Amino acid sequence: MFIQTEATPNPATLKFLPGKPVLPDGTADYRSQSEATDSPLARRLFEVDGVSGVFLGPDFISVTKRDGEWQHLKPAVLGAIMEHYVSGAAIVEGGGNDAAGANYDPKDEQVVATIKELLETRVRPAVANDGGDITFSGFRDGVVFLHMRGACSGCPSSTATLQGGIENLLKHYCPEVQAVEAVAM
């Protein structure tokens, strides 16, 4: 098994591409060992000293480090991923932890549908290339609330991505949008 790695805009996060499906449906974001109860792969990765986050995408695994250098952590992470795939164990038992219910006024249903469509077709594919994900959380009083996940969570350029990219895109297609804010999961 050959696993490729890619740098992300977040220096604390590295993207691992196992060349096999990870989560064909949805994503899963784990910020601690205790959150990883439904993912044998994430639990195995948290056993690597220095790992502070695991994000599972359709065909990639983003791993965030708490400290240390990637040159020291990367071999251990690669080994854990390889061992997991060789074991044949499930990546996630159940459906993952994709963001669930959204918060918005039913009268804004059409605006929210447009926002979600733009996020799905234009934003999420771009941030997945960088090892992260951005999901809709809510819309109130002209403000779109988004969850930053994987490499996007804690990334130094996430504010620029939100204001310079996503906010401008949403404002262009949805005049009702006045601002975009990140919310904690």
Is the model's pLDDT at 100 over the cut of 50?
no
Q: What is the domain partition of the chain in residue ranges?
A: 4-87, 103-183
pLDDT tens digits for range 64-77: 999 889 999 999 99
pLDDT tens digits for range 28-40: 889 899 989 999 9
Type of residue found at 141: D
Residues facing 14 on adjacent strands: 7, 63
Q: CA–CA separation, 170 vs 168, rounded Å? A: 6
Residue 95 pLDDT grade (very low, low, confident, very high; cuts 50, 70, 90)? low
pLDDT tens digits for range 103-162: 788 888 899 899 989 988 888 888 887 787 888 888 988 998 888 877 777 777 777 777
Q: CA–CA separation, 182 vs 134, rounded Å? A: 9
Phi/psi of residue 80, each to 5°?
-65, -40
The alpha carbon of 104 is separated from its chain's Cα centroid by a whole number of angstroms, namely 22
pTM for this entry: 0.67
Q: Does domain 4-87 have CATH number 2.50.20.10?
A: no
Instruction: Look up residue 108 and give its DSSP letter.
Output: G
Contacts of 184 (CB under 8 A, 6+ apart): none
Fold of 103-183: GMP Synthetase; Chain A, domain 3 (3.30.300)
Q: CA–CA separation, 157 vs 87, rounded Å? A: 37
Among 127, 121, 92, CA closest to 21:
92
| CB-CB neighbours of 96 under 10 Å | 17
pLDDT for position 102: 54
Q: CA–CA separation, 153 vs 176, rounded Å? A: 26
